[in-house]
Structure 1
Amino acid sequence: MATAKIKKGDTVVVLSGKDKGKSGSVTKVMPKEGKLIVEGVNIITRHKKPTQMDPNGGLEQREAPLYVSKVALADPKDGKPTRVRIEADKDGNKVRVATRSGEKIDG
């Protein structure tokens, strides 16, 4: 699978699905599965049985993984979805650049 150009800590915008238009910070990236977890997006509810560790049990809400293709990096200038390209800066280091505004994302 090709690199997704999205890293942990990036702000992304959801492009499709029930949370379309929401944005959040990436908390975990799973490149082998092509998925990532975004803070506050794609919340699911799980029913938990009571155990000795958690005697009450009940409902647990947490973020479920999203496919990388369903999100786009948020432009640092205006927060709208943008594509990402990789350029070399004057020192020869690779830098991610937002296609929409041309601003550098890291560094």
Structure 2
Amino acid sequence: MAAAKIKKGDRVVVLSGKDKGKTGTVTQALPKDSKVVVEGVNIATRHRKPTQAEPQGGLVRTEAPLHVSKVAHVTADGKPTRVRFETQDGKKVRVAVKTGEAING
């Protein structure tokens, strides 16, 4: 399996869809499905029946996964960039294509 270009904790911007332009932090990465869950983006509403565990029931809002191709890493100046891999000091490092600076994490 290839190394992940977007990881948990990265700041990303949504490139397409109903949430285009929104930025957020990746809360969960699902590399097998090529999806990520971004904080505050792609909110899905589910109708839940009352249960003993949750007697109130009602509408439950959760963040649904987005395909990784719909998001891009955000640089320090807030612009989207692609990510590439370079070897620095014998280690494989993620690098922002626009700025050339290493992405920690």
- TM-score, reference length from structure 2: 0.94
Partner Cα separation in structure 1 for residue 3 and residue 69 of structure 2: 12
Amino acid at match of 2:69: S
1:38-66: per-residue Cα shift (whole Å, max 9, x none)? 00000111101000011110100110000
One of 93, 96, 99 as aligned partner of 2:94: 96
Which segments of 5 or more consecutive residues in structure 1 lack a partner in the other structure?
none
User: What's the offset of the Cα at 1:4?
Assistant: 3.7
How many residues matched?
A: 105
Mapped partners of 2:38, 2:18: distance in 1: 14
Q: CA RMSD in A?
A: 1.3
Q: Do the aligned partners of 1:45 and 1:62 also contact (CA within 8 Å) in 2?
A: yes
Identity over aligned pairs, percent: 69
Say yes or no: does 1:82 pair with 2:81: yes
For residues 3 and 95 of structure 1, what CA distance do their matches in structure 2 show?
11
- Are positions 1:105 and 2:91 aligned together? no
The 1-side partners of 2:86 and 2:8 are apart by: 20
1:99: Cα distance to partner?
Answer: 0.5
CA distance in 2, matches of 1:86, 1:42: 28
- 2:35 is matched with which residue? 35
1:45 corresponds to: 45
Comparing 3-12 and 59-68, the one that deviates more: 3-12
Runs of 4+ off more than 4 Å: none
- Structure showing the higher strand proportion among its residues: 2
Amino acid across the alignment from 2:79: K
Residue of structure 2 in register with 1:73 after alignment: 73
- Contact kept in structure 2, 1:4 and 1:68, CA below 8 Å: no
Q: Which structure 2 segments of 5+ residues have no match? A: none
d(CA) in 1 for partners of 2:54 and 2:81?
A: 43
Please give the alpha-carbon distance, in whole angstroms, between the structure 2 residues aligned to 1:100 and 1:19: 23
